[in-house]
Structure 1
Amino acid sequence: MVSDPQIFSFHFGCLESLAFAAVTYYFGSWLKTKIRLLRRLSVASPVVGGLTVAIVLSVLQGLNIAHITFDPTMQKQLMIAFFTTVGLMASLKVVKKGGIMLAFFLLAVSCLTVLQNCLGMSVASLLGIDSRYGIMVGSVSLMGGLGTSAAFGPYFEQTYGLNGATVVAITSATLAMTNSLLIGGPIGEWLIKHYKIKTPDLQTPVEKAANPDKQDERKGSLSWTADILKALTVILICMSLGKVISQELSAYLTL
């Protein structure tokens, strides 16, 4: 911790940043229990906690009251881990079930990707700045997200001399993700209620844990240790294989 006569400064190290992120998540969960509107709109707990903390820290810095910084060492690895878990949820069975609708969705996304870049480059040109910044705030950040922004940003900076490309892309991706989560939750909730969509009447592990009286006493207490370790192992293996494949492909594939 560093104190300054003019402004209070504090830097969270790698471990402290992880702990702070976890606390922020639970803070968001706590806020949802207190504010009924957030529950009705199905706003995710990470968004509630993260956005609240981000606003508070921004106000403190804007008023020159305090300047809080975080160690970004684990940022890239955690983002890769997150997108790995997203990929693990996909399967050929799901793709086959999507059928023609999935093909139309892929076509729509491809067209939208081109339109995003065209719009971004056009606006950048109108503002009198390098049109490649339009790509950074286009498909790189809006379609690719934080992981792609963090990967493509440095490449554009080194190859094309596009100063601040990484910051621009990550800022755009963060804003897009926050807005999509704020809008997506309420819309999803409305669609579920409007079309009266019901989930299968199956008891989940969480429900089983909440109703221990329904469990067989001979089986003892419910434990997910083996499942958690198995999932963690699969994620780490996929991340390692992805890194090796990425390094090999980078020698042949460039922008």
Structure 2
Amino acid sequence: MIIKVDMLQAVGIGVIMFLIGDFIVKKVKLLQKYCIPAPIVGGLIFALIHTIGVKTGTFTFQFDQTLKNFFMIGFFSTIGFTASFKIIKQGGIAIVIMLFISVIMLVIQNIWGITIARAFKLNPLIGMCAGSISLMGGVGTAAALGPVIEANGASGGLTIAVASATFGLVMGGIVSGPIAKYLIDKKGLIKKAKEEEKSENGKEKDFSEHHIENDNHDTIKTNDLSKGFILIMLAMSIGSVISILINKTGLVFPAYVGAIFAAAIIRNLADLRKISLPQKEISAVGSVFLNIFLAMTIMSLEIWKIARMALPLIIILLGQMILLALYSIIVVYNFTGRNYDSAVMSAGFYGYAMGATPNALASMTAVVDKYNRPSPKAFFTIPIVGGFAIDLTMGIIVIGHMNLILSGSL
């Protein structure tokens, strides 16, 4: 039996599955600990039910996902609104270094995934789905770029990307804290930090005075909410034109790239004119869009298609864990100053490069609480790079990799 679901019904089911997932997450502390989003939980429940229907031959769903793209583009436009170059300038060289380090790891994640996929005679694009798309990118990027990968011949790419992103969320929360502990204890960084404080030449830039917008959504103003929604629609409209112009170059780019650029332009023009945008309200709308988009994406996963890819996927993801841990300890720590702040940033880097920025912040909080020593530099730098700076570059790099593969150059 084929159950056809139109676009409005698909949104309704997505909302219901999000609410179910939200209820479960609030009841299960383990899901809260590893920052597993509610739409993933609810969406996977529906996907598993769908899988049972398909494998037993009793029922299957056909979704009209037209509105999913609307919510996806709307969410990614809200990332563009956070791309304030004024804030980036506050962090100076620390932001630049961390972004550069992140981009290099992004490429490494793709190369590792592609290499193992080819070793198992799989489409190399599958390797990218278990690379930066899902790990550095997170669940949102995995859900957005998975269909692009599938459209270019990698069957099961979306399911692989979402599964890898979920794995990354868990492992990002588990491994990042011990990385900082290892560095701090092995290299005696607490003692060194105290010695630096006593030295006149040991003073570093005080990041505690720098400002990042408060993302507290507890108080939302109706007028500002309307303004925020209108700005998002404006960015999406302008972004569609930008995307058309980009695609005329012959390259394949996801639809949300134009919206990110449009929103970033609006944000920085507002900064120049000293116009305050309703950032809190824009972020709140973006959160709603993301939840619906993820729920709709994950509930339509065709889990039954990826059984034969289980072994290569495990090898790719275990390799990613090890490579990222070594990179955090050797590269991130050394290039960010070889001090206490560097150790905390190494934990934060692993958190967002394997999972998501909330994982990074949770891990860094656990580290500074354990050693009873703050790290304002880390708590300023990591959210900016992991929260939006890497997202601005990821789409271009990932799609560049994909086009090189499709052209036979990689």
Specify if TM > 0.5. Answer: yes
Which residue does the alignment assign to 1:80? 73
User: Greater shift after overlay, 167-176 or 107-116?
Assistant: 167-176
Counterpart pick for 1:177 among 151, 162, 165: 165
User: Greater shift after overlay, 131-140 or 20-29?
Assistant: 131-140
Q: CA separation in 2, counterparts of 1:250 and 1:65?
A: 41
How far 1:41 moved relative to its partner?
4.6
Letter in 1 for 2:43: G
Check the 8 A contact 1:41/1:189 in 2, yes or no: no
Which residue does the alignment assign to 1:101? 94
User: Greater shift after overlay, 18-27 or 54-63?
Assistant: 54-63
Please state whether the residue corresponding to 1:69 is helix, strand or coil. strand
Check the 8 A contact 2:125/2:149 in 1, yes or no: no
Which residue does the alignment assign to 1:228? 225
Q: CA separation in 1, counterparts of 2:19 and 2:71?
A: 18
Q: CA separation in 1, counterparts of 2:125 and 2:36?
A: 34
Query: Could you give the per-residue CA deviations for residues 41-76 of structure 1, whole angstroms, max 9, x where no partner exists?
Result: 543322332233323332333333432332121222
Which residue does the alignment assign to 1:245? 242
Query: Is 1:20 paired with 2:20?
Result: no
Question: Could you list the runs of 5+ residues in structure 1 that have no partner in the other structure?
Answer: 158-163, 192-201, 209-222
1:1-255 equivalent positions in 2, closer than 5 A: 4=1, 9-129=2-122, 131=124, 134-135=127-128, 138-139=131-132, 143=137, 145-151=142-148, 153-154=150-151, 157=152, 164-165=153-154, 167-184=155-172, 206=218, 224-252=221-249, 254=251, 255=403
Change (3 A) 1:121 1:28: closer
Query: Could you give the per-residue CA deviations for residues 127-164 of structure 1, whole angstroms, max 9, x where no partner exists?
Result: 2345455456544565453333444654xx3xxxxxx3
Check the 8 A contact 1:42/1:186 in 2, yes or no: no
Change (3 A) 1:18 1:116: same
Q: CA separation in 2, counterparts of 1:189 and 1:57?
A: 37
Which residue does the alignment assign to 2:282? none
Structure 1 runs of 4+ aligned residues shifted over 6 Å read 185-191
How far 1:238 moved relative to its partner?
0.8
The alignment's C-alpha RMSD in Å is 3.4
Change (3 A) 1:175 1:151: same
Check the 8 A contact 1:42/1:189 in 2, yes or no: no
Check the 8 A contact 1:121/1:131 in 2, yes or no: yes
